[in-house]
Amino acid sequence: MLAKWKLREVIVLSVLAVVFAVVYLLFLQLGTVLFGLFGLIGYDMIFGIWFIVSIIAAYIIRKPGAAFLSETVAATVEVMLGNAVGPQLIISGMIQGLGAEAVFAATKWKNYSTWVLMAAGMGSSVFSFAWGFYVSGFAALSPGYVTAMFFVRLVSGALLAGLLGKYLSEGLAKTGALSSFPLGKEHKRNVTV
Amino acid sequence: MSLHEVNPSIKAFAVVISILILSLFFDPITPLLTIIWAVSITFIFGRISFKKWILLFAPFLFIAIIYVWSTMLFPRLHAGDSVIWKWGFLTLTAEGFQRGVSLGLRVLSFATLSIMFTLTTKPTDFLLSLMQQCKLPPKLAYGIMAGYRFLPLIKEEFQTLQNAHRVRGVARARTIPEKVKQIKRYVIPLLAGAIRKAERTALAMESKGFTGDKNRIFYREITVSRIDWLFFTLMIGAVLLSTFISWKLGYLQFYNGEL
Amino acid sequence: MLPFEQISAERLEFSYEDRKIFTDLTFSIGKNQSVLLLGPSGSGKSTLAFCLNRLYPEAVDGVLKGSISYEGQSLEAFKAGELNQKIGIVFQDPESQFCMLTVEEEVAFGLENFHIPREQMELKIDRALELVGLQNDKKTTIHTLSGGQKQKLALACVLALEPEVIILDEPTANLDPVSSSELVETIALIKNERPFTLIVIEHKLDDWVELIDTCLVLDSNGSLLFEGTPAQCFGEFASFLKKEGIWLPKVVEAALTAKIAGMYRGERLPLLKSELLAGLDYSFDFSKKISKTLAIKEPILEVKGIHARGHLKNINLTIHKGEQVALVGSNGAGKTTLSKCLAGLIPVTQGEIQFLGVPLSKWKEKDLFQKLGYVFQNPEHQFITDSVFEEIAFGLEHRASALSILEKIGLEKHANAHPFALSQGQKRRLSVATMLVHEQELLILDEPTFGQDANTAHEIMEILEEKSGAVMMITHDMELVDQYADTVHVLDAGELIFSGTPESLWENEEIVNRARLKLPFRKQLQDEFVRREIHVAT
């Protein structure tokens, strides 16, 4: 998969992952607060933020694997940072990344419209929820509550990962920093036309 | 033997497998025994300062307490559960309580295993080991390393941005749209700077002849020895032993995902 | 013409995104030559350098036409990465050319890429670190090194591979003057010991002049303007180069000015200070232009015995209305910390700062920053909106007046552009302008001319000169201090060791040495002139 990637793209992906690994850890604290206020579902409200790097990396780089790799690397960096959940987080990251990647794969990595980005965020929600169901033992909760958690997470994935990811990427394109990436080039064309 | 010397990949593998095994079961005893085991080896073979450890452990303790709280507030009620306490819409059953405690201990068992890994593994060693033992492509591994190097820089930039925004007189964000704007105000300059630096780093790496070639002679070889596999066996053995004791005590329960 | 052509380029042309970076370049470089690659910014110097070791065009989606050969062999005949062992490169930015965490790992990274047997690595690493004087930092984390040390490490990484050619792409652009000179000295020493071909791209030429034997000059369109010796290049074409926007060595610049004024007798412009002095008329006046004297000394900021976080010790100083103040000192002396304390961005642990008669701690933040501005080293940090216009209009009562401010700083055409998409110089001007909209009484600037070209530096100083309030500027540039400052404060290891006029600082040799400062060129010349006079007289 990596053979077709330029080193430049790999490192930019990795840097995106590093920045968002830090953001993720900050949100873990916010999540814990919401958790304290609303119980488990508090986490699901902001769960989408933890998929955002998939959306941003895929939207900027537009290569097969961008969503999966960025989320996996972000998780690895969280582990390397030392204050995260430990090596199994890498598996969570991979699964979340796969969720988004699956949606991009369904478009053959060609379509990066708003709807696809939101769907990719939701894809991560679905995959991560299934995994969380197994590892975190949601089965101990009442079915109604679990269903509510699922839908909250789905919406969060669409909004906080899909929409916010698109919004941030486009803000970034405006700065000219993405001039050598597909999104930056697209932006430039739109400005000059 | 020191935990610091155990091969990082094998250590990570042992932790992940232990967690996967623990996920299979759902009872208070198995995770409790695992916690005791993990904490003991962390301090005996890892020689970790308690202060460092508790700093990482405390948030998980908080999460565990909330977990217990959540399962007690929103329990999966079964006919025949014995009610211990009832107040308004709150109902506490013996079974619900046990499930809550199981869930909480489960979180803590994952945490103690993870902290053992985190506190005894150097990031560079982990990546070198992933390349040397797990065949992680060097392109990705060195990409991660290069990105990881940016962290202190990004931290400094973040602080500078905070100050710069104060000087510009940016008011504190209160509403949600304001907050989103504020995130953007921080994230975009950080990312724009980081991306440009990343492109320069890539060029610098290529200028030193880096091609992503998988045949690499490593300056620092991360080895695998019998001790590593002994460690692995001990770790898995300990978790299995915990489940066995739990089963003997009559607590062991498979975790069934059905609702 | 050359004893042995190591690198030769023929009809090179590079284009990127339909824009030609350079065209029709034909030149050759001989073994062990020292080449200075000159040209105005944007003339494609770096691009050319990256093409020479084949980083480009692959790394960007550019198109390279023409041919380059290395020792008679076309570059395309080399395997990927192979050429990088022969041609090493040190980049401009010390922060972004490493990928490992510690010094030894970083040097090893290059060796690993070329499959050097493990048992040889250690020796090669030690030798390379010794050459640049980093042998005691083998296990040090790269992040904790100073900028100058980082550049030396970058050089060590290249040297460890024992290359035949080393390209330096503005290696001193982000270093202070003393570290820059040290790096150049190091390179000169190594080149003596172990010959290699050197290709240097540089703006600040003074330290390099003696090392260089060939100049290659590109013009703003990326065509080859000149190829020859430095003596010829600067001696005969100086005024032409200046017109093209190319920096000149200070000696050449001074001689050119003197010559235009009819005070330089030499036929050719000189390269060395001694040559310059020999050719100068005796009536040449070395003194500084008289700085404006402040009629009324009304204090606006008073610092009384402050300490901060172990960095600063018992600092006392006063800034007066309309005063131009410079804050100087070596890296790590506490300049930025002090400046941030003065702006209330870092708390003081002891002592008091009064601004406009009110203790800093009593000010409301919003009111304070209407009266006191702070310009950060990196202009991008200060931008908070999506457009240049919004940046100025932010916080203004009459948004329309933003346009007139934009006109003043020459950015009216870019009103709708994203601040980040501006050029370096434009960003700098904009960031200074955002701090002037409220007519602040005091403006603090952290190295505003750092990494800027000569034109931008002057433009910024012009904007500041027009301003009515007081200015305090952190800088490494002693020419700037000499030209613009009324008062200069010198920090060393957290202590204020000097406050006074620039002229009195230059006379104080002890302070100048202790703070690792360099005398301004004017003063250097003057001293040498006086020394000569004495010599002649006796």
Among residues C239, C268, C291, which one ends one of the domains? Answer: C239
- What's the CA gap between B190 and B175, in Å, rounded? 23
Mean pLDDT of A16-35: 85
What tokens appear for C142 in the block?
A: 């790269």
For the beta carbon of residue C114, count every other beta carbon within 10 angstroms. 16
The predicted model gives A176-183 an average pLDDT of 90
- Rounded distance, CA C252 to CA C268, Å? 10
Q: pTM for this one?
A: 0.88
Question: Which residue would you say has higher pLDDT here, B43 or C399?
Answer: B43
C386 CB within 8 Å of a chain A CB: yes
Residue C277 domain-assigned (yes or no): no
Euclidean distance between CA atoms C214 and C356, whole angstroms: 56
Mean local confidence (pLDDT), C14-41: 89
- Which tens digits make up the pLDDT trace of C174-232? 787 888 898 999 999 999 999 999 999 998 898 999 899 999 999 888 889 889 999 99
CB C118 within 8 A of CB B221: yes
Q: What is the mean pLDDT of residues C296-317?
A: 88
Q: Are C70 and C25 in contact (CB under 8 A)?
A: no
Is there a domain that residue C275 lies in? no
State mean pLDDT over C132-159: 93
Among A6, A174, A180, beta carbon nearest to C418: A174
Q: Chains A and B: how many Cβ contacts under 8 Å?
A: 207
Q: Could you tell me whether strands C312-320 and C324-328 are parallel, antiparallel, or unpaired per DSSP bridges?
A: unpaired
* Chain C neighbours, 3+ Cβ pairs < 8 A: A, B
Q: What percent of chain C has pLDDT over 90?
A: 48
Number of other residues whose CB lies within 10 A of the CB of residue A170: 15
Q: Do C226 and C310 belong together in one domain?
A: no
- Residue C206 resides in a domain: yes
Residue with tokens 């304001």: B178
Is C535 contained in some domain? no
What would the mean pLDDT of C406-411 be, rounded to a whole number? 86
Q: Considering Cα of A130, then A131, then A134, then A140, what sign does the dihedral take?
A: negative
Domain C-terminal end among C239, C273, C288: C239
Give the C-alpha distances (Å, rounded to integers) separating C84 from B178, B202, C79, C90, C164. 49, 14, 10, 12, 10
The per-residue pLDDT for range C495-538, each reduced to its tens digit, is 999 999 999 999 999 999 998 888 998 888 888 888 877 776 66
- Order of strands across the sheet that contains C487-492: C372-375, C442-446, C470-474, C324-328, C487-492, C495-500
- Map residue A64 onto helix, strand or coil: coil
Let me know if residue C269 belongs to a domain.
no
Q: Which of residues 81-110 of B touch A (CB under 8 A)?
A: 99-100, 102-103, 106-107, 110
Answer yes or no: do C173 and C29 share one domain. yes
Q: Among partner residues B99, B118, B140, which is closest to A86 by beta-carbon distance?
A: B118
Single residue among C239, C255, C278 that ends a domain in this structure:
C239
- The answer as to whether C245 is a domain residue is no
Q: Over the range A87-122, which residues count as b (16 or more CB within 10 Å of their CB) and which as e?
A: bbbbbbbbbbbbbbbbbbbeeebeebeeebbbbbbb
Give pLDDT, residue C522. 87
Q: Dihedral of the CA atoms A93, A96, A97, A98 (nearest 10)?
A: 120
Token pair 């702006």 is found at: C343
- With CB atoms and an 8 Å threshold, state whether C60 touches A176: no
In-domain check, residue C32? yes
Average pLDDT of span B91-116: 84
* C26 and C137 share one domain: yes
Coil, helix or strand for C24?
strand
Element (H, E) at C67: strand C62-70
A25-34, B192-201, C287-296, C350-359: range with lowest mean pLDDT: C287-296
Ranges B89-93, B212-216, C471-475: which has the least confidence:
B89-93
Q: Averaged over C39-61, what is the pLDDT?
A: 86
Let me know: does C410 contact C269? Beta carbons within 8 Å: no
Alpha-helix runs per DSSP H in chain B? 8-24, 29-46, 50-73, 94-119, 123-132, 138-168, 176-207, 226-248
CA distances from C511 to A121, C372, C501 (A): 61, 30, 13
Number of structural domains (chain C) is 2
Report the share of chain A in percent with pLDDT over 90: 63
Subunits with 3+ Cβ pairs within 8 Å of B are A, C
The pLDDT tens digits of the residues spanning C235-259 come to 888 888 888 878 889 889 888 888 8
**Which of A135-139, C348-352, C397-401 is predicted least confidently?**
A135-139
Contact C23, C44 (CB under 8 A): no
Please name the residue that has the structure tokens 């330029």.
A6
Domain residue extents for chain A: 7-186
Nearest to C420 among A6, A177, A180 (CB): A177
The structure tokens listed for C299 are: 């204090």
Per-residue pLDDT reduced to its tens digit, B14-58: 999 998 898 888 888 999 999 999 999 999 999 889 999 998 898
pLDDT range class, residue C283, cuts 50, 70, 90: low
Q: Tell me what pLDDT residue B229 has.
A: 96
Residue B258: pLDDT band (50, 70, 90) is very low
Q: Do C81 and B167 touch (CB under 8 A)?
A: no
> Which of these, C442, C440, C445, C449, lies nearest to C339 by C-alpha position?
C445
The SS3 of residue C522 is helix
Give the pLDDT mean for B97-119. Answer: 87
| Confidence grade of residue C154 (pLDDT, cut at 50, 70, 90) | very high
Under the banding of pLDDT at 50, 70 and 90, the label for residue B259 is very low
- Do both C231 and C303 map to the same domain? no
Tens of pLDDT, residue by residue over B70-96, are 666 666 666 666 777 777 666 677 777
For C220, residues 6+ apart whose C-beta sits below 8 A from its C-beta are: C39, C40, C42, C43, C244, C245
Q: What residues of chain A lie within 8 A of the CB of C59, using their CB?
A: 6-8
Q: Are residues C142 and C43 in the same domain?
A: yes
What's the pLDDT band for B172 if we cut at 50, 70, 90? confident
Local structure of C340: helix, strand or coil: helix
- From A29's Cα to the closest Cα of chain B, the distance in A is 9
When mean pLDDT is compared over C267-281, C293-307, C311-325, the highest value belongs to C311-325
The predicted structure's pLDDT at residue C311: 79
Q: Between residues B100 and C142, which one has the greater pLDDT? A: C142
State the sign of the Cα–Cα–Cα–Cα dihedral C154, C158, C164, C165: negative
Number of H helices, E strands in chain A: 9, 0
The answer to whether the CB atoms of B99 and A140 lie below 8 A apart is yes
Average pLDDT over residues C312-318: 92
**Sign (positive or negative) of CA dihedral C175, C180, C184, C189:** negative
d(CA C335, CA C308): 12
Residue B12 predicted with pLDDT over 80: yes
**CA-based nearest residue in chain C for residue B159:** C381
B141 CA: distance to closest CA in chain C (Å): 10
pLDDT digits (tens, 9 = 90+) for A32-42: 778 777 777 88
- Considering the domain architecture, whether residues C203 and C313 belong to the same structural domain is answered as no
**What CATH number is given to the structural domain containing C474?**
3.40.50.300
Averaged pLDDT score across all residues of chain B: 87
Contact B147 A77 (CB under 8 A): yes
Give pLDDT, residue B139: 94
Mean pLDDT, chain C, integer: 88
- Top pLDDT among C402 and C454 is at C402
Residue B101 has pLDDT above 60, yes or no: yes
- Token representation of residue C32: 């062990």
- Specify the pLDDT at position C290: 54
Q: Answer yes or no: is pLDDT of C1 > 50.
A: no
Examine residue C307 and state whether it is found in any structural domain, yes or no. yes
- B50's tokens: 């308690």
Give the burial class of C292: count Cβ atoms within 10 A of its Cβ; 0-12 exposed, 13-18 middle, 19 or more buried. exposed
Domain region containing C72 = 5-239
Could you give the CA distance from residue A153 to residue C333 in angstroms, rounded to a whole number? 51
- Distance from the Cα of C17 to chain A's closest Cα (Å) equals 10
Same domain, C227 and C348: no
> Using 50, 70 and 90 to split pLDDT, how confident is the model at C297?
confident
Residue C220 shares a structural domain with residue C311: no
pLDDT of residue A106: 97
